[in-house]
Structure 1
């Protein structure tokens, strides 16, 4: 009896990325590092928000890496149009110089799945693209603290609640508080002495009950509900 011919492994899924930045050098640097990654490719480039929306609808990338400050339509409005339009399945990562960028909050409200800082290592940007392409929000603990601090320093009129957190259990409230503090699923599981799978289940329930798109929006909800205090 002949042995069966072994099947070739299925090719890994390639993540298609649209780069949006008005600075050609930034796009060139990102394009260069992406070219070296076998599982990520540049599907297109745009220099402003209007081009980003048009190209996203035309080529349907998996991830858009979006600058905020650009001439014409900025990244916030482009993000809102992408995440609420016919290309809503595309994930948007905001690319910003966080320390002096006053628009991160608005971008996350517009539906961004996370944000990157321009001075971070290019390999870390690749890792972030993979995380967001897999459907996870991207928000690191250190960045979470800075983000919450940024929210806290805004005038009260800017804090528009996304929705009530009534209807969640005490345990779900605990999980939401830990998510808002920047803990990963593994860290939440350790903190509450539960399995990682159970932590993920709580997270899924919170997303559904609170109408949140991803983990980043849960952080915003936790802050606006007063579950997370701004760092001193």
Structure 2
């Protein structure tokens, strides 16, 4: 079945552009596009999309509040599962909002000027529980998570230590590389990288690769620390 998507953005040109890009793909179906957070929540309840493409700054309920409310709904009603998966679309001047959205459970972060291919891949990744983050956002935002007063002070502790190879994979992930790029760099198969990341995700109780990258910056692992 096609991946079902709802687009929420208060700019008509953005909604129209995103809809045209996504509807050109045979495996993606845009169910609706809406202008604000309240309409986004209503569309989610009515249409049950797989993915919600969500702007942060909108009139009324902003994207952060929508993300928070959907996370609360998922916690209170497990029958909903993790749907919809949220992909945030933002600009460079909203760094602090992205941090909050990441911790709230968003699984993808794209710039509004991202290429059509990246937008499509971001939706596809979210639909299967993975995530795609614009490399520029990864490096700009996650670096800022490194504590200013020492490493690892309040970061979560893994249930068991990461192996040396798992640490190599996490460092590469935190620098913005894709799984394919990590596999090429470490001279291993793509399935091996996928397996390593699944193990790391379990050890950290992380919801997605974005949280793994954030953990790497918080602990200093991304910059060569312990």
Structure-1-length-normalised TM-score: 0.81
Structure-1 separation of matches of 2:162 and 2:25: 43
> Kindly tell me: are residues 225 and 149 of structure 1, through their superposed partners in 2, closer, same or farther at Cα, counting changes over 3 Å?
closer
Unaligned runs of 5+ in 2: 75-79
Paired residues in the alignment total 215
1:90 has 2:84 as partner: yes
Structure-1 separation of matches of 2:201 and 2:91: 28
Unaligned runs of 5+ in 1: 1-12
Range moving further from structure 2, 80-89 or 176-185: 80-89
1:212 has 2:189 as partner: no
- Secondary structure of 2:69's counterpart equals helix
Q: How does 1:59-208 map to 2 (within 5 A)?
A: 59-86=47-74, 87=80, 88-151=82-145, 161=154, 163-165=156-158, 167-171=160-164, 172-208=166-202
Residue 161 of structure 1, CA deviation: 4.1
Structure-1 separation of matches of 2:66 and 2:18: 20
Structure-2 separation of matches of 1:141 and 1:83: 25
> Kindly tell me: are residues 73 and 173 of structure 1, through their superposed partners in 2, closer, same or farther at Cα, counting changes over 3 Å?
same
Structure-2 separation of matches of 1:83 and 1:124: 25
Range moving further from structure 2, 27-36 or 13-22: 27-36
- Secondary structure of 2:40's counterpart equals helix
> Kindly tell me: are residues 134 and 166 of structure 1, through their superposed partners in 2, closer, same or farther at Cα, counting changes over 3 Å?
closer
Structure 1 runs of 4+ with >6 Å offset: none
> Kindly tell me: are residues 104 and 196 of structure 1, through their superposed partners in 2, closer, same or farther at Cα, counting changes over 3 Å?
same
Structure-2 separation of matches of 1:196 and 1:60: 32
> Kindly tell me: are residues 160 and 91 of structure 1, through their superposed partners in 2, closer, same or farther at Cα, counting changes over 3 Å?
farther
Structure-1 separation of matches of 2:134 and 2:103: 18
Partner of 1:19: 7
Cα RMSD of the aligned pairs, angstroms, is 2.6
Structure-2 separation of matches of 1:110 and 1:160: 21
